[in-house]
């Protein structure tokens, strides 16, 4: 049997789903975390022998959807005939939640109301008479706390006992013409009146929501005119500083030492074996994977910190703080959430754009979110920061800041190209109550995302490294290549290397190969470089995450590029199109091949232009003359600019003719 979890946004559906099923789906303390349906068998300890599948749905305020993710909930409960519905009701906002409840009760499907956040209510002295509520609604009402799992067993047994029975609705809407707007509003008002009459009887409050409370004072500071943005910047800086400078590297040292022990042990086993096989296994497969996994602690610490932020309720405040700025570039505070989530991974970041109502804004957010360097890009940043810049903290900070700048500029560009017309858009965001973030939940979130990182390194990355190693070892006749330069890989990546000359100043098929495998997964940039530059491989794998210990110059030597080129190449990898998986996510959110290709084109153009400017300007400052490939690169940039200008003019003409038409019509 199948039970649907439905309710208002941020009422705790996914938290309850995780408790019921033992999964660790993403949760957060703001409205609209879940944007897609998820289902899984619930734990045996709760469901007994009956196999019960719980279906987690995005939150909705009513059966008539406002945004794309809200429509998933109403479409599911109306169309997919779940056997029962658990209606998660935010007990701290009963009067709003029950509107949706009464609509769910009309479907004829057995409903169990989980009166969630019971703990917050008792702390505030709000009392809800569950028995009275149950009698008034005609369905079981059970107090729950989904963060601790309290009451869940009762909810499930109530669901099981209702199986196969129907549901009587306590309030049935009059037979009205649904296409007539005024009568729909009248009917909805009556429904709210019915809800209000129940709430009045069932609920008693000590603290009135409309009164200012301590949390409002915190809000005043966090969202204040002068401190809002500096506080946000400081919080993000701390996240990066802790994960990538203060804590992450120390844990990484231990891990890398341990991994090297393993590699040495494996190398010992391979002693006397075919040198090619041993190189393939030890340097290619294991070495490449270690190069990536070595950065795991940095990534995990960051996941932990971001999970704390998401749990606290601060995210909703960030949207408020940044809304005025984002409005200036045609976006709104809503798009902040995709951008912040993209710091962890671009895929959920892109998907989070679904909560944005305005289509142009939604598509723009989906194509711009990947400019935020994601977790998979951390190894790349850390490798280059270590190899060329003595592991300076500013490298990582600059990469994230530049990502934000590019999002702004990109948004402006999207507006011009998409023909943005000045029109009213509204911003509304629910401010959830702050809560002390749960360390345990952040730890679990960190582990599950860290595990996903390891799995990726052990599958896709390992596979790519192996393929790269083999392609690098053989020539087209499948003989062992005399030198790597005559290998399959060199001839495949060679042509692309020419494109990179204006960025790195040298013709290097290795760098081209790494950039290309980076489109499969960004960690590949590190893995492929490790495999391609045999010497580099050894450097990364020395005892203490070598780069921290000043071997930096040596890696730079193996790669044979200058600091300016390294910075440019790093930026190229960060700001060009993300991995294929993220492009797939962009495709499903944009639902338009024109927008998708526009987005990919924008990312290529931006990545190339930024890298070109950084390399050429950097080289000019350092040596007094521009770097190699200046002219061809400049021509490429001019071509990109011309293309952009063409599209802008086309869009302008489109708007003009539209205005002319509407003018003529009026």
Partner 1 sequence: MHMTLLNAHEGIEYRIRAVDTGDEEMDSFLFSLGCYPGEPITVVSHLKGSCVVSIKDGRYTIDRALADTVAVA
77-116 footprint of partner 1 as x/- string (CB under 8 A): ---------------xxxxx--xx----------------
Q: Which stretch binds partner 1 (CB under 8 A): 46-54, 158-166, 320-328, 362-370?
A: 320-328
Query: Is the CB of 233 or the CB of 269 nearer to partner 1?
Result: 233
Task: Among 219, 260, 311, 361, indicate the residue that binds partner 1 (CB under 8 A).
Answer: 219
Report the sign of the C-alpha dihedral through residues 335, 339, 344, 350, in that order. Answer: positive
Cβ at position 431, least distance to partner 1 in Å: 4
Site size toward partner 1, by CB under 8 A: 43
Where in 387-426 is the site for partner 1 (CB under 8 A)? 424-426
Q: CA nearest 5: which of 50, 60, 47, 79?
A: 60
Cβ at position 223, least distance to partner 1 in Å: 6
Query: Is the CB of 115 or the CB of 460 nearer to partner 1?
Result: 115
Q: What is the DSSP string of 456-491?
A: HIIIIIHHHHHHHHHHHHB-TTSSBPSSGGGSHHHH
Cβ at position 343, least distance to partner 1 in Å: 23
Contact at 8 Å (CB) between 289 and 262? Answer: no
Task: Among 22, 149, 170, 324, indicate the residue that binds partner 1 (CB under 8 A).
Answer: 324
Q: What is the DSSP string of 564-611?
A: HHHHHHHHHHHHS---HHHHHHHHHHH--HHHHHHHHHHHHHHHHHHH
Cβ at position 327, least distance to partner 1 in Å: 8
Which positions ≥6 away from 618 have C-beta within 8 Å?
Answer: 562, 563, 564, 565, 567, 568, 627
User: What does the block give as tokens for 560?
Assistant: 């044979």
Which positions ≥6 away from 235 have C-beta within 8 Å?
Answer: 309, 314
Cα–Cα distance, 614 to 634 (Å, whole number): 13
Q: Which stretch binds partner 1 (CB under 8 A): 185-193, 239-247, 262-270, 573-581?
A: 185-193
Query: Is the CB of 404 or the CB of 431 nearer to partner 1?
Result: 431
Cβ at position 666, least distance to partner 1 in Å: 17
Other CB atoms within a 10 A radius of the CB of residue 182 amount to: 9
User: What does the block give as tokens for 409?
Assistant: 């500029």
Cα–Cα distance, 36 to 571 (Å, whole number): 32
Q: Which stretch binds partner 1 (CB under 8 A): 146-154, 220-228, 471-479, 509-517?
A: 220-228
Cα–Cα distance, 315 to 30 (Å, whole number): 7
Cβ at position 437, least distance to partner 1 in Å: 19
Q: Is 220 in the site for partner 1 (CB under 8 A)?
A: yes
Cβ at position 216, least distance to partner 1 in Å: 6
Task: Among 37, 41, 192, 484, indicate the residue that binds partner 1 (CB under 8 A).
Answer: 192
Cα–Cα distance, 25 to 348 (Å, whole number): 11
Query: Is the CB of 83 or the CB of 119 nearer to partner 1?
Result: 119
Task: Among 44, 165, 189, 650, indicate the residue that binds partner 1 (CB under 8 A).
Answer: 189
Task: Among 242, 257, 320, 492, indicate the residue that binds partner 1 (CB under 8 A).
Answer: 320
Which residue(s) pair with 41 in the sheet? 53
Cβ at position 360, least distance to partner 1 in Å: 15
User: What does the block give as tokens for 289?
Assistant: 């994977």
Query: Is the CB of 66 or the CB of 498 nearer to partner 1?
Result: 66
CA 511 to chain centroid, in Å, comes to 27
Cβ at position 125, least distance to partner 1 in Å: 14
Cβ at position 134, least distance to partner 1 in Å: 20
Residue spans of alpha helices (H) in 248-345: 248-269, 275-278, 288-293, 296-312, 314-328, 336-341
Cβ at position 560, least distance to partner 1 in Å: 51
Tokens 């099981």 map to which residue?
160
Contact at 8 Å (CB) between 517 and 526? Answer: no
Where in 123-182 is the site for partner 1 (CB under 8 A)? 181
Query: Is the CB of 92 or the CB of 243 nearer to partner 1?
Result: 92
Residue spans of alpha helices (H) in 352-389: 359-368, 378-388
Query: Is the CB of 212 or the CB of 265 nearer to partner 1?
Result: 212
Q: Is 61 in the site for partner 1 (CB under 8 A)?
A: yes
Cα–Cα distance, 81 to 334 (Å, whole number): 32
CA 508 to chain centroid, in Å, comes to 33
Task: Among 148, 224, 592, 641, indicate the residue that binds partner 1 (CB under 8 A).
Answer: 224
If DSSP codes are grouped into helix, strand and coil, which group holds residue 619?
helix
Cα–Cα distance, 419 to 428 (Å, whole number): 25
Cβ at position 427, least distance to partner 1 in Å: 4
CA 569 to chain centroid, in Å, comes to 24
Query: Is the CB of 41 or the CB of 431 nearer to partner 1?
Result: 431
Where in 198-217 is the site for partner 1 (CB under 8 A)? 209-212, 216
Query: Is the CB of 64 or the CB of 459 nearer to partner 1?
Result: 64
Task: Among 39, 106, 153, 188, indicate the residue that binds partner 1 (CB under 8 A).
Answer: 188
Where in 422-451 is the site for partner 1 (CB under 8 A)? 424-431, 433
CA 210 to chain centroid, in Å, comes to 34
Binding residues for partner 1 (CB under 8 A): 61-62, 64, 66, 92-96, 99-100, 181, 185, 188-189, 192, 209-212, 216, 219-220, 223-225, 228, 316, 320, 323-324, 327, 332, 357, 424-431, 433
């Amino acid at each position: 049997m199948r039970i649907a979890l439905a309710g208002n946004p941020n009422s705790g559906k996914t938290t309850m789903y995780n408790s019921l099923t033992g999964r660790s789906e993403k949760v957060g303390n703001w409205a609209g975390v879940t944007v897609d349906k998820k289902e899984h068998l619930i734990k045996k300890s709760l469901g007994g022998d009956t196999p019960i599948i719980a279906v987690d749905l995005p939150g909705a305020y009513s059966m008539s959807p406002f945004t794309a993710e809200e429509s998933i909930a109403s479409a599911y409960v109306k169309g997919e005939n779940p056997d029962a519905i658990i209606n998660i009701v935010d007990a701290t906002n009963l009067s709003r939640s029950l509107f949706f409840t009464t609509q769910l009760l009309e479907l004829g499907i057995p409903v169990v109301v989980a009166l969630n956040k019971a703990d917050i209510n008792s702390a505030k002295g709000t009392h809800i008479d569950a028995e009275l509520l149950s009698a008034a609604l005609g369905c079981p009402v059970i107090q729950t706390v989904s963060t601790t799992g309290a009451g869940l067993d009762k909810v499930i047994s109530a669901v099981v006992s209702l199986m196969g029975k129907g549901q009587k609705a306590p309030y049935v809407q009059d037979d009205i013409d649904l296409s007539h707007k005024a009568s729909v509003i009248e009917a909805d008002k009556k429904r709210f009146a019915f809800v209000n009459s129940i709430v009045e009887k069932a609920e008693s409050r000590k603290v009135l929501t409309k009164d200012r409370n301590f949390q409002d004072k915190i809000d005043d500071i966090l969202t204040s005119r002068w401190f809002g943005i500096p506080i946000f910047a400081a919080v993000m800086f701390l996240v990066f500083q802790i994960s990538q400078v203060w804590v992450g590297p120390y844990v990484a040292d231990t891990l890398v030492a341990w991994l090297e022990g393993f590699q040495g042990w494996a190398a010992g086993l391979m002693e006397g074996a075919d040198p090619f096989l041993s190189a393939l296994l030890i340097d290619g497969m294991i070495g490449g994977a270690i190069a990536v996994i070595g950065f795991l602690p940095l990534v995990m610490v960051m996941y932990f910190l971001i999970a704390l932020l998401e749990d606290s309720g601060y995210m909703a405040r960030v949207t408020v703080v940044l809304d005025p700025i984002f409005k200036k570039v045609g976006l709104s505070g809503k798009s902040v959430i995709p951008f912040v989530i993209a710091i962890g991974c671009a895929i959920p970041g892109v998907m989070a754009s679904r909560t944005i109502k305005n289509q142009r804004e939604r598509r723009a957010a989906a194509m711009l979110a990947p400019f935020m360097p994601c977790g998979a890009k951390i190894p790349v940043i850390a490798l280059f920061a270590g190899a060329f810049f003595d592991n300076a903290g500013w490298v990582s900070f600059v990469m994230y800041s530049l990502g934000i700048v590019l999002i702004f500029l990109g948004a402006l560009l999207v507006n011009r190209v998409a023909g943005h017309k000045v029109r009213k858009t509204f911003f509304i965001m629910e401010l959830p109550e702050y809560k002390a973030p749960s360390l345990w939940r952040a730890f679990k979130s960190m582990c599950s995302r860290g595990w996903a990182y390891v799995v990726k390194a052990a599958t896709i990355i390992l596979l790519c490294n192996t393929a790269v190693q083999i392609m690098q070892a053989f020539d087209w006749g499948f003989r062992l290549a005399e030198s790597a330069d005559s290998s399959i890989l060199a001839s495949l990546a060679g042509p692309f290397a020419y494109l990179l000359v204006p960025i790195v100043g040298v013709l290097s098929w290795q760098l081209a190969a790494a950039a290309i495998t980076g489109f499969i997964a960004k960690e590949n940039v590190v893995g492929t470089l490790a495999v391609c530059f045999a010497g580099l491989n050894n450097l990364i794998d020395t005892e203490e995450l070598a780069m921290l210990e000043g071997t930096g110059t040596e890696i730079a030597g193996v790669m044979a590029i200058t600091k300016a080129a390294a910075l440019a190449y790093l930026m190229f990898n960060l700001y060009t199109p993300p991995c294929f998986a993220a492009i797939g996510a962009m495709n499903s959110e944009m639902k338009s091949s024109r927008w998708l290709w526009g987005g990919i084109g924008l990312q290529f153009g931006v990545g190339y232009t930024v890298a070109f400017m950084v390399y050429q300007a950097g080289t000019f400052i350092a040596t007094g003359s521009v770097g190699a490939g200046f002219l061809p690169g400049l021509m490429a940039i001019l071509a990109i600019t011309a293309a952009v200008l063409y599209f802008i003019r086309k869009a302008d003409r489109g708007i003009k003719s539209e205005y002319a038409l509407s003018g003529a019509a009026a």
